[in-house]
Amino acid sequence: MKIAIGSDHGGYELKTYLTSYFDKHEIDYDDFGTHSTDSVDYPDYGKKVAEAVLAKPYDFGIVICGTGIGISIAANKVKGIRAALVYNQETARLAKQHNHANVIALGGRTTTQEMAVKIVEAFMESTYEPRHQKRLDKINKIEEEYDV
Ligand code: RB5
C-alpha cells in the first residue's frame, strides 16, 4: 500500500498529522507538498497528486485544502481521476465501493484529525464493487466526449 498525499496551506496541518500517523503505522507514502503554511494555490497540488496517482505506483491519493472542495475540483480535471470529497467513514467506504475513487479529498478546516484517520482507514479497508462499473464507464464516456 502506497499513498500520494498533497495539500495547500489550508490542508497543511492535517496533512502533517496524517503523514505522522503513516510514519507511526509504517504506511508508505510520498508527500507532494506543500511544506509550510505559506499561501499557495490548491490546483497545483491537486494536479501533482492526481498525476502521481495515474503514473503509479500509488494505490490512491489524498488531497487536502481548507474545505477539500477546490482541490477535489482540480484533481478531477485530470483525466482518469475520480476524486471524492469525503467527510466521514460512510462516505469514505462508499467512495471506494461505488465510485472506485482513486483520490480522496479532505477539508483541513472542516475535518478533525481523528475523523481524517478514520476516513483513511475506512477507505483503505473497502473494496470496489464491480456491479457499479456501468456508471463508471459512463463517466469515462463523458471524459472522452469533452476530452478533459
Ligand atoms: C484557501 O484559502 C482556500 O480557499 C482553499 O484551501 C480551499 O478551501 C479551496 O477550496
**Cα(first)–Cα(last) distance of the chain, in Å?**
28
Q: Is the pLDDT of residue 148 over 70?
A: no
Residue nearest to atom 8 of ligand 1 (CA): 66
CATH number for 63: 3.40.1400.10
31-to-15, 17, 93, 133 alpha-carbon distances in Å: 9, 12, 23, 31
CA of 83 to the centre of ligand 1 (A): 16
Q: What is the model's pTM?
A: 0.98
Joined grid coordinates for residue 117: 484517520
Identify the pLDDT of residue 20.
Answer: 98
**Which residue from 71, 7, 60 is spatially nearest to 29, judged by alpha carbons?**
60
Fill in the DSSP letter of residue 132: G
DSSP state of 83: E
Q: How far is the CA of 131 from the centre of ligand 1 (A)?
A: 35
d(CA 101, CA 107): 17
Pocket of ligand 1 from Cβ distances under 6 Å: 8, 10, 42, 65-67, 69-70
| Residue 36 belongs to domain spanning | 2-146
Report the alpha-carbon distance of residue 71 to residue 104 in Å, rounded.
10
φ, ψ of residue 127 to 5 degrees: the values are: -130, 145
Using CA positions, which residue lies closest to atom 7 of ligand 1? 66
- To test the ligand 1 pocket, which listed residue (14, 44, 63, 65) has its Cβ within 8 A of the most ligand atoms? 65
pLDDT in tens, 93-136: 999 999 999 999 999 999 999 999 999 999 999 999 999 999 99
User: Which pLDDT score, from 0 to 100, does residue 56 have?
Assistant: 85
Q: How many domains does the chain have?
A: 1
Instruction: Give the orientation angle of helix 42-55 with respect to helix 69-76, to 10 degrees.
Output: 50
Q: In the predicted model, is pLDDT for residue 147 greater than 90? A: no
Closest C-alpha residue for ligand 1 atom 10:
70
Kindly state the greatest CA–CA separation across the chain: 44
Distance 70 CA to ligand 1 centre (A): 6
Q: What is the pLDDT of residues 11-63, one digit of tens each?
A: 999 999 999 999 999 999 999 999 999 999 999 999 999 999 999 899 999 99
- Mind telling me the catalytic residues? 98
